[in-house]
């Protein structure tokens, strides 16, 4: 568990459940993910799974998320909240629209079809190394998917359930957060496309 400045009992609860808790004082989703990758690089796993710790994802679906990798069918698996029929109170209208627009642009510019930029995902360590993740905040998920598309990394989606998170989202829960995230996601899509052309 990477704790990047939580003000609740994340550290205490995770530690008492047996998790290794890593501190990342820098705020930002990507910064937290990069810190976890840095820790795991000491003894890299074959497969790495990313899942949000805010109650919105269902970790018990882990087997379904990694199944295409285990079967040798994919190197990157996105848990799609859209395919899983996420309720409207869990995936807000601005998030749904942002997902649709981003996935449409990825299909048009890169020729790869996704339905979601969801956080619950699995990737092989070798594919992760080839991608070379760098984004430290809102662009993390889309960076992974766009770079995977550019590199020809075999990707697929599986339906996952989704529920309202505990607490207010710093991204989709505010107008400012939604605008900043939307800008960063679109910038990531187009900047990667420009580099490829």
33 and 64 in a common domain: no
- Residues 91, 37 share a domain: no
Q: Count of domains in the chain? A: 2
Do 85 and 10 fall within a single domain? Answer: no
What is the pLDDT tens value at each position of the chain, 197 positions in all? 999 888 888 889 999 999 999 999 998 999 999 999 999 999 999 999 999 988 899 999 999 999 999 999 999 999 999 999 999 888 888 889 989 999 999 999 999 999 999 999 999 999 999 999 999 998 999 999 999 999 999 999 999 999 988 755 555 556 677 788 888 888 899 888 878 65
Question: What is residue 169's predicted lDDT score, i.e. its pLDDT?
Answer: 53
Closest CA to 141 of 161, 119, 126: 119
Q: What pLDDT was estimated at residue 168?
A: 59
Longest Cα–Cα distance of the chain, Å, equals 50
Beta strands in the chain (DSSP E): 2-3, 22-23, 47-50, 76-80, 121-124, 155-159
- Domain shared by 34 and 51, yes or no: no
Residues 109 and 26 placed together within one structural domain of the fold: no
pLDDT of residue 8: 83
Q: What is the pLDDT of residue 114?
A: 98
The range of the structural domain enclosing residue 31 comes to 1-43
**DSSP codes joined into one string, 56-97:** -S-GGGHHHHHHHHHTTS-SEEEEETTTTT--TTTS-HHHHH
Nearest to 148 by CA among 97, 188, 91: 188
Angle 140-151/29-40 helices, nearest 10 degrees?
60
The beta-carbon contacts of 63-69 under 8 Å, at least 24 apart in sequence, are: 64/158, 64/160, 65/120, 65/121, 65/122, 65/158, 65/160, 66/122, 67/158, 68/156, 68/158, 69/122, 69/123, 69/124
Pair (20, 114) in one structural domain:
no
How many angstroms separate the CA atoms of 160 and 18, rounded? 25
CATH number, residue 188: 3.90.550.10
Indicate if 25 and 98 belong to the same structural domain: no
Are both 2 and 75 inside the same structural domain?
A: no
For residues 39 and 52, membership in a common domain is answered with no
């Amino acid at each position: 568990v990477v704790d990047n400045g939580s003000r609740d009992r994340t550290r205490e609860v995770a530690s008492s459940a047996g998790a290794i808790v890593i501190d990342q004082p820098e705020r930002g989703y990507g910064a937290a993910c990069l810190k976890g990758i840095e820790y795991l690089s000491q003894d890299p796993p074959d497969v790495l799974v990313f899942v949000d710790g805010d109650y919105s994802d269902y970790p018990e679906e882990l087997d379904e998320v990694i199944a295409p990798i285990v079967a040798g069918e994919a190197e990157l698996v996105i848990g799609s909240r859209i395919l899983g029929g996420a309720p409207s109170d869990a995936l807000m209208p601005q998030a749904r629209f942002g997902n649709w627009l981003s996935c449409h642009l990825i299909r048009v510019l890169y020729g790869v079809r996704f339905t979601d930029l969801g956080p619950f995902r699995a990737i092989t360590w070798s594919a992760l190394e080839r991608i070379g993740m760098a984004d430290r905040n809102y662009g993390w998920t889309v960076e992974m998917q766009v770079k995977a598309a550019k590199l020809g990394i075999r990707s697929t989606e599986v339906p996952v359930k989704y529920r309202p998170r505990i607490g207010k989202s710093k991204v989709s829960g505010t107008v400012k957060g939604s605008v900043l995230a939307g800008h960063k996601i679109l910038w990531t899509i187009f900047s990667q496309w420009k580099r490829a052309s």
